[in-house]
Structures are given as structure tokens and as C-alpha cells.
Amino acid sequence: METYQIKQLERMTGIKAHTIRIWEKRYGLIEPDRTATNRRCYSESQVRKLLNVNTLLAQGYKISKIATLSEDALNTEVQNKERKGAVDNTSITYINELIRAMLDFNEHAFEKIFSAATTRFGLHNAMINVFYPFLYKVGILWNVNKTAPIQEHFASNIIKRKLMAAIDGLVPAADSTKKFLLFLPPDEWHELGLLFADYIIRSKGHQTIYLGQSVPIENIGKVVASVRPTHLLVFYINNRPKGEIAKQIKLLSKIDEQSLLLVAGSKELLADNEVKAKNVRCLSEVESLAQYL
């Protein structure tokens, strides 16, 4: 069974680690296990409980009241509100429900939540306000620097399937002043960010050429010479030996100095591999691409 450190718990539930510790001491809300080095670690059931707590907090409940509920009563309270439609359809509610469905490998529930969020917000805004924060919380999009647990593979593949269907439903731009070449560099396989970028760019009426995962750098020049893109967009997710990413970015920036190279990845990764060139721009957040377009 997967266990989580307190920082992971903070990211997934949206509750600060300091607050979680206070609740442990003051209310006995949850009781973490301890590693051999005395670090807190939390089970999936404890993650689910804190997600329920966060959902009720978002609806105006006081923690002092929530803490008096047994785990069964807490589950029932959330379920009753959802059944009656009394839970406000805020982004945080959708995100918490997606995480619970992911932990349970519940595809039916995941699909239902996905549909509800896209119906309420539209796919583009749902991706920005719900699915991107969800992916960020569980660590499988812009900020991945670790091997994803199996639940994350389950969730990412559902969203990947949905994104591909949405992209297929967009009418390709017949004539656009902007043409984007999208690809992942060698040994990069996390495709969700690239697919989302493809959807955003196409939905804005621009043309894309999508090459996909782990494309050899030496092949990019041939494609650029053939299609003459105005922009290249590349994602870096995994850590590499020091200097390797910066070296690749320099090579890519020199393939066609008239085109703009957009480099996406986590803030930490890009900061460690900064390349100063007129035709290079770094995108450390999904909102950066949307704002740029």
C-alpha cells in the first residue's frame, strides 16, 4: 500500500503541513505511522479522510465540529451533501473527488467527475481550474521528478484519453500565422503536458505539428527545414546529469534562430538549466503558455 510523507499530503489535500500537525495534537484527527527515522507517514485511508475534511471546510464547516465526527460519519456527511446536490461545485470539491477516485481505481467515478467539471467550466477552463491543479497535486504534470505510483498512471491515462479525443474534435487550422512544433526530447515519456499544450494551441486557432515522445534531437532539424515552424515547444520533466538539459536547449535554439523555442518544465529544473538566448523562452507553469498565446 502506498504511503505519503507530510509534504506529499500537504500538496494532495491542500492543507498545510503545520495545520495537519496541529490537528493531530489538538483533535487527534489522524494518527500517522512513523518511519525508522521517526518521520511521519500517512496511509491512503488517511489521505481520503483529509480530503473529506477539506471538502467540508470548503463548505464552511468548522474543524472543531468535523473533528467530532467518526470516519464513517465524516464519509456519510460528504456523501449526503453530494447526493442532495448541497455541495458547492467549486474546483476544490472536484479536485478532492478526483483524488479519491484515483486512489480507489474507480474509473466510473473519475469519468463522472471529469464530465461534471467539463460541463460546468468547459474543457479549457476545467483543465486550468480543475485537472491541472489535480495533476499538480498528485505530481504527474509540470512538476514531476519522480516515478509515479500506479494510481497516478491510472488517472493520467484517463485524462490522456480525454485530451486526445478533445484534440481530435478540434478543426485543424488551415492557415495560421503561428505554427508550433511540439515534441518531447530523448528519454522523456510524460506526455500529458505536451498534449494539453497541443489542445490549448489548437483551440486558439494556431497550427501544430505533434511529434510526441522521446524524439531524437538530430531529427528536429530535418522537421524544421520541412515545415518551417514559427515556434518549437519542448517539455523537460525528468532530472538529467548536470548540464545536459542546458546543452540540449542550446542545440535546439541554434536549429533555427528565427523561430522561438518555448521550453516547459518545473521552475526548479529550468532554473538549474537556464540558457540565455534571444529565441528561448521558459514556461514553468501551464498558465504561462495560455497567457503567451
In a domain, 164, yes or no: no
Q: Please state the domain count of the chain.
A: 2
Tens-place pLDDT, residues 28-46: 888 888 888 888 888 888 8
Q: How far apart are CA 109 and CA 97, in angstroms?
A: 8
Last residue of a domain, one of 90, 122, 141: 141
Q: 176 vs 245, which has greater pLDDT? A: 245
In a domain, 105, yes or no: yes
Neighbour count for residue 63 (Cβ, 10 Å): 17
| Chain-centre distance for alpha carbon 177 | 29
Return mean pLDDT, the chain: 83
**pTM for the structure as a whole:** 0.74
Domain boundary among 94, 123, 141: 141
For 275-290, the DSSP string reads ---TTEEEE-SHHHHH
C-alpha distances in Å from residue 194, one per residue of 44, 189, 206, 232: 29, 10, 15, 12
Q: What share of the chain in percent tops pLDDT 70?
A: 90
In the predicted model, is pLDDT for residue 290 greater than 80? no
Where residue 196 sits, what CATH number does that domain have? 3.40.50.280
Q: 229-286 pLDDT, tens per residue?
A: 999 999 888 777 778 888 888 899 899 888 999 988 877 777 777 777 788 888 876 6
22 and 124: one domain? Answer: yes
The neighbouring-strand residues paired with 181 are 209, 232
Q: Are residues 125 and 11 in the same domain?
A: yes
* Distance between CA atoms of residues 283 and 292, nearest Å: 9
What's the average model confidence in pLDDT over 87-97? 74
Range of the domain at 234: 170-292
- The answer on pLDDT for 209 being more than 80 is yes
Element (H, E) at 42: strand 40-43
Do 123 and 222 reside in the same domain of the chain?
A: no
154 is a domain residue? no
Of 141, 156, 189, the residue that ends a domain is 141
* Interatomic CA distance for residues 129 and 90, integer angstroms: 9
Q: So what's the pLDDT on residue 158?
A: 93
CA distances from 247 to 143, 189, 218, 274 (A): 21, 20, 13, 10
For the residues 50-57, what does the mean pLDDT come to?
85
CATH of the domain at 40: 1.10.1660.10
275 and 187 in a common domain? yes
- Looking at the DSSP assignment, which residues form a beta bridge with residue 261? 232, 280
Radius of gyration of the CA atoms of the chain, in A? 21
Q: Sorting pLDDT into bands at 50, 70 and 90, what band is 147?
A: very low
Distance of CA 178 to the CA centre of its chain: 26
Q: Please report whether residue 54 resides in a domain.
A: yes
